[in-house]
Structure 1
Amino acid sequence: MTDSFLTRILGELQNISAGERLAFIKAEISKIDDPDQRELAETALFLGMSVGAPVPREHVVVLVHGIRTYAEWQERLAGALTDKGHENVYPVGYGFFDVLSFLCPIWTRRRPIDRVLREFRAIKTKHRDADISVVAHSFGTYILSQILEDATDVSLHRVILCGCIVPLKFRWDKVMARVKGVVINEVGTLDYWPVIARLVTWGYGASGTFGFKTSFVRDRFHNCGHSDFFEDDLMSKYWLPMLLDGQVVPSDWTRTRSRSSALVSFLSWLPLKSLLLIGAVTGVAVFAMHRVA
């Protein structure tokens, strides 16, 4: 084996696609008759290919749950990632968050947001320079949106949202500079909870039912309800490839889904909060007039 042999092979590799390089190397090395020379060539070539290659960044996955749950899905997904060799997975919670706290548009929401933000910052301190990916469900998606909006020191890698209640008008364009990879919104066409959340209180949206419809987020539709995303088969098919390799597996339901039910469409249109507010103001005014009379 001569230096010219190594120089020639390394030079030719520059013109060969990454997927075909290994086959090319094996074919060229197999042409060397002497076993010792063949082993030396193999070692030298692979060493030459690795010199100067970037060191892969550490990758951390954070899992954020929704309300009224202790989210056993977090441990199952963490275990599935660990089985694939990904050990830095953090199920993050904020305690049992009741419905009244969820519905209240002031005071109650800040506590879970601050708690999850402290977790993000602690993970960032522990894993300096690591890429941080997130899977968030339901109220966890709202928490994540608020963190992206307010905490400019938090940057993310890949994001998976499911049961999403983030408003459709959320300004993704203002936060995407801090999201390195793709944002996937898993849309459940049988999920009516985001519609109800938007209907009965302020600050939420039906993005988990209808999608964001924006270039900044990839809506992926499924024939399922609010918590059906946590089936092992679905997580294995769609989430593991995304979290491990950045691979976005398409869903056939995205193209073949039917129209939303008439009830869901009606609820999404109904201005219930405005009607309740008008009714309350009218009631107070009538009461005041009777008192004066």
Structure 2
Amino acid sequence: MKIIICDDDVVRRQRLVGFLSSIDKTSSFKVHEVSTTDEVSKLLSDQYFDALVLDVVVPKRSDDTPSAHNGSRLLNQICNGRKLRKPERIIALTAYLEDIQQYRSAFADFGVAVVEARTQQPDWENAVLDSLAYTAESQVARARLPLLNVISVHGIRTYGGWQHKLQALVTESAGHVEFHHHKYGYFSALSFLLPTSRDVEVNRLIAHLSGVFNKDREKKFIIFAHSFGTFLVANALEELYRQGYRNVHRIVLSGSVLRSNYDWRFLNGCGVEIINDCAQNDLVLWVSEAVVLKTGMAGKVGFYGIQNPSITNRFQLGGHSVYFYGLTFMREFWIPLLDPSVPVAQFDKRNEPGVIHHFVEGIISFIGKIKPYLYASGVLWVLYRMGLFSLAK
């Protein structure tokens, strides 16, 4: 269990850490010690923690005066914001309960357990331990739920090495999970440009998935797809759901070449969650948006417009394959999604892009809107030059 202990009272903090260490015979507690709310925000923006033990009257920065307002503001950011990952359990420490009377209702709204913990008071650590034990028991119970089985689809100009890395990670952390990797060999950029080549691969995926789903109509799956694989998955599922298949619980897209206004309404009422992982500097998708018919750059700017309410756009820095540099991203953000009871972690790590980036992306977006007409004009011009028809005078 990963725990943050935020307390600027060093004696009390070390007392709690020492207590947890003394009863943790299996080294299951991984404790991070901090003394300010800014440090907590930094940790929760980077990774998930199971529990947060927070001194209510705490400084925002190391040179600030401790205040209950800082603790209350942090809790509001955790519970109502989108950039910090909410721990499953939050425990508030205070030396005197009367000091936080004006914040008690807010803490109750956030589902925070409040523990009166004076440095000289005995046994308050046991109250903290009881809350942590409740969290551990709920995790064990949740882990007994059946995990989702996995389907993965890779992108173009690759053989999908990440698919097997993902399977190894799942096996390591969750045990046996049924895997189905859809492979179509090395798909060239030229083939990606041709609608007929793409249609062939969509039909192959439809056949593959219908075979998998027909084995057990009650079995639930999570689909991971990258790049061109997201195009295949979306178009294949549209046909399969039209045929009555309802086997998919979650769809995880990364580096998606789908249009940002892609119409997911065919999944309305099916209980399917769509997680769209985007990279701010995925410039490969500018080519998809500007050049390739029926594709776009949803893996860079997200989905927008009238959408299925179960769509989550998540943004981070990096390029087209940043999700597979090492194992950190898949381990932190994809593995937990196999448990259908775990809520989808939300985050937005984008920086404000520069003026040039905004300008170029605006031009690319405009070209993407008119590219069908550009292609049609090009075809007409070629036919005219070949003398196959003459323009009316």
Q: TM-score range by the shorter chain?
A: 0.7 to 0.9
Normalised to the residue count of structure 2, the TM-score between the two structures is 0.55
Cα distance change of structure 1 residues 285 and 182 upon mapping to structure 2, 3 Å threshold: same
* Residue 278 of structure 1, aligned match among 349, 369, 377: 377
Task: Quote the residue 2:189 is aligned against.
Answer: 99
Q: Is residue 198 of structure 1 aligned with residue 289 of structure 2?
A: yes
Q: Give the C-alpha shift of residue 287 in structure 1.
A: 6.3
Cα distance change of structure 1 residues 100 and 76 upon mapping to structure 2, 3 Å threshold: same
Higher relative contact order (CA 8 A, sep 6+): 1
Q: Give the C-alpha shift of residue 116 in structure 1.
A: 1.7
For structure 2, the 5+ residue unaligned runs are: 1-110, 114-129, 135-140
Identity across matched positions, percent: 26
Does the 8 Å contact 1:167/1:203 carry over to 2?
yes
Task: Quote the residue 2:274 is aligned against.
Answer: 183
Q: Give the C-alpha shift of residue 290 in structure 1.
A: 8.8
* Residue 239 of structure 1, aligned match among 327, 334, 342: 334
* Residue 226 of structure 1, aligned match among 304, 313, 320: 320
For structure 1, the 5+ residue unaligned runs are: 1-16, 28-49
Cα distance change of structure 1 residues 272 and 171 upon mapping to structure 2, 3 Å threshold: closer
Q: In structure 2, give the amino acid aligned to 1:166.
A: L
Task: Quote the residue 1:248 is aligned against.
Answer: 344
1:64-123, CA deviations, whole angstroms, 9 ceiling, x for partnerless residues?
111121111000001101112242122221222222211012x21222112222221222
Q: Higher strand share goes to which structure? A: 2
State how far apart, in whole Å, the 2-side matches of 1:124 and 1:290 are.
53
* Residue 164 of structure 1, aligned match among 256, 259, 269: 256
Q: Give the C-alpha shift of residue 237 in structure 1.
A: 1.4
Q: Is residue 108 of structure 1 aligned with residue 108 of structure 2?
A: no
| Paired residue secondary structure (1:62) | strand
State how far apart, in whole Å, the 2-side matches of 1:279 and 1:129 are.
49
| Paired residue secondary structure (2:222) | strand
Q: Give the C-alpha shift of residue 264 in structure 1.
A: 2.8
Q: In structure 1, give the amino acid aligned to 2:376.
A: L
State how far apart, in whole Å, the 2-side matches of 1:87 and 1:96 are.
27
State how far apart, in whole Å, the 2-side matches of 1:199 and 1:71 are.
25
Q: Higher helix share goes to which structure? A: 1
| Paired residue secondary structure (1:134) | strand
Task: Quote the residue 2:365 is aligned against.
Answer: 268
Q: Is residue 145 of structure 1 aligned with residue 239 of structure 2?
A: no
Task: Quote the residue 1:70 is aligned against.
Answer: 159
Q: Give the C-alpha shift of residue 273 in structure 1.
A: 4.7
